[in-house]
Structure 1
Amino acid sequence: MCALRTHSRGKIDLKQGAVNLRPHDRARAWVIRIILWVILVVTLAPLLYVVSASFSSTDALSSASLIPLHATLANYVNVFSSGFLRWAWNSTEVALVVSAAQLLITSTAAYAYSRLHFLGRKYGLMVLLLLQMFPNSMAVAAIYAVLAQWGLLDRLWMYMLLLIGGSAFNIWLMKGFYDTIPIELDEAARVDGAGHFRILMSVILPLARPMLAVVFFLSMIGYYSEYILAGTVLQSPSNYTLGLGMYNLINTQFAQNWGLFSAASLLSAIPLAVAFGFLNPLMARGLTAGATKG
């Protein structure tokens, strides 16, 4: 009855419901709020130091005052003369190309595991996931030896090709979403004469757009900031990604440019923020898909 009054009378009864909470429910709500506030402060504190250092006139990462005494935009001006734009373009290109390629591989492979019956279907994806559990750092020496032998080091396209192969987790994620799509839709399309390709393009993918957005954005985050494999394959400054280029800003022999590094860190978040803004409506539906079923 309380729920009906809340639905019919809106905010007034919502406020009354908050006042009429039982004591232990009210205490639990405050405990949750305090925990969230603590997590928020702990999460934002390092970011505040980065913002402060980016406006500081010194190269120190932290100072006695969180607000710089002599704030300046010199770090943001100098960051564009350090090769930042080239690094950002390389990272954005790698993230977009690899994420798009993995989206193509993921959507088709997940359809095969979800809808087709073939030898090795039951354990094939599990084997891929087991192989993905081993970190890339374990294969760095072998990758370097092979690429050096074939003269393929310091090539951005080869770096992208190496990254495209790691899509087992995305296939597993997409397969789980395909499994929630009723098989009756496939059967209805098959009655109309549609094959597997037409079913995938006209039935499955339009319904899977939220999960496609999730897979694309998560892949983009991972490959935009990838460092270990990039440090192995890429060698010339013109091919550096953001991870490699920004590492050189604080790895100089005589000084560590923390102010310049902080400004570059904040600017490097812009492409991901733009992508999140465009994909957020679809991602919200994709991440909650399957939470309520029936």
Structure 2
Amino acid sequence: MVWKSVKWPVYHVLVAALAILMLYPVIWMLFSSFKESRTIFITAGTLLPAEWKWENYLVGWQGVSGYSFGRYIYNSLVLVVISTIGAVISSSLIAFGFARLRFRGRNLWFVLMMVTLMLPHDVVLVPQYIIFAKLGWLNTILPIVVPAFFGMPFFIFLMIQFIRTIPSELDEAATIDGCGKFRLYAQIILPLLKSSLATAAIFSFYWRWEDLLGPVLYLNSPEKYTVSMALKMFLDSEAASNWGGMFAMSIVSLVPVIVVFFLFQKQIVEGMSTSGLKG
């Protein structure tokens, strides 16, 4: 009885301590965003700033290369929204084909799709760059958003597992009522994939929002830069780097990610679970 009475308090204390440990880098960055740039690393061991520099946020929002930070947030949002829509729709359609349709070479194509999950992304960078250069897509968002419309293996695999838990009797009933394959996908399967679709959308949002390599490779005009590239430009190898402004805008860039997580954390858990239909 004594152990049961102290188990939950001990558990919560340990979880809280672990959460603080994991969040400490973000907390340190938050307080550092209010410090003067030249003192940030000198006073790295001190969490609270000696003098609060609120103007770091104003200076940081003014941006770099003649564009405000709002411009870079807008660029990132456009890229993220288009990529996410393409990834979710295409992945769900491909997953439906693998899970419900019978066609020649299905198992081979599925294996090839799964192999791409184990293929390092760096291996395909050069061939992709050459292809996009010949297409004349450099310095546009097309090399970043167009591949998303051809499906993402992780999302496809996730949705296949979920679709397989949906009773096939629903397909048979819909077919008897005159549903074709695409109508079956759009009106029967897709609504039941809501949690998996939400999970794929959230992960796609996270991955695209923090992506630096893709924009660095394909974008070379400052007016098209994303948030990740703008943060990098606060650092100057030849002069004093604006660490205060960079940390301030890093905190600002975290706001959309945090909002999306807290709004859709339930869908993340439900989407990762393939226990089947409820009720």
Among 176, 179, 194, the residue aligned to 2:164: 179
Aligned length: 273
Amino acid aligned to 1:126: V
**TM-score, normalization: structure 1?**
0.83
Among 58, 77, 84, the alignment partner of 2:69 is 84
AA in 1 matched with 2:20: V
Structure 1, unaligned stretches of length 5 or more?
1-19
Structure 2 residue 18 is the aligned partner of structure 1 residue 39: yes
Instruction: Rate the CA distance shift 1:278–1:41 in 2: closer, same or farther, 3 A.
Output: closer
Question: What stretches of structure 1 move > 4 A for 4+ residues in a row?
Answer: 25-35, 163-166, 291-294
- Measured after TM superposition, the shift of residue 166 of structure 1 is 5.8
Work out the CA distance in 1 between the residues paired with 2:28 and 2:247.
9
Letter in 2 for 1:290: S
1:167-222 Cα offsets, whole Å, 9 max, x none, are 01111111111011111111111121111122212211111111110011111100
Q: Which of 221, 234, 242 in structure 2 is aligned with 1:257? A: 242
Cα deviation code 1:269-290 (max 9, x no counterpart): 2222333344344334323341
Residue equivalent to 1:158 = 143
Do structure 1's residue 116 and structure 2's residue 101 form an aligned pair?
A: yes
Q: Is residue 60–residue 259 contact of structure 1 (8 Å, CA) maintained in 2?
A: no
**What root-mean-square deviation, in Å, do the aligned CA atoms of Structure 1 and Structure 2 show?**
2.5
When structure 1 is superposed on structure 2, of 273-282 and 85-94 the one drifting more is 273-282
Matches within 5 A, 1:25-64: 33=12, 35-62=14-41, 63=43, 64=45
Match of 2:132 among 129, 142, 147: 147
Work out which of the residue numbers 59, 62, 67 in structure 1 matches 2:48: 67
Cα pair 1:53 1:61 within 8 Å, conserved:
yes
Alignment of 1:269-288 (within 5 A): 269-288=254-273
Question: Could you say which residue in structure 2 is the equivalent of 1:235?
Answer: 220
Q: Give a deviation string over 1:18-39, Cα, whole Å, max 9, x none.
A: xx26x4x778767755653442
1:57 Cα deviation after fit: 2.6
Deviations 1:58-85 (A, max 9, x none): 3444424211111021111112211311
Show CA shifts across 1:205-252 (max 9, x none).
111111110011111100111111221111111111111111111244
Give the stretch that moved more between structures: 234-243 or 53-62.
53-62
- Following superposition, the deviation at residue 113 of structure 1 comes to 0.4
Give the unaligned 5+ runs of structure 2. Answer: none
CA contact (8 A) 2:29 2:247 kept: yes
1:214 matched to 2:192? The reply is no
Distance 1:195 1:32, change over 3 A: same
Separation of aligned partners in 2, 1:290 and 1:59: 54
**Contact 1:79–1:264 at 8 Å: present in 2 too?**
yes
Q: Provide the rounded CA distance (Å) in 2 between the counterparts of 1:292 and 1:282.
A: 15
Distance 2:108 2:38 in 1: 54
> 1:93-132 alignment to 2 at 5 Å?
93-132=78-117
Shift of 1:262: 0.9
Larger Rg: 1
Letter in 1 for 2:55: A
In terms of mean alpha carbon deviation, does 25-34 or 76-85 score higher?
25-34
The answer on whether the counterparts of 1:156 and 1:234 sit within 8 Å (CA) in structure 2 is: yes
Contact residue 49 and residue 61 of structure 1 kept, 8 A: no
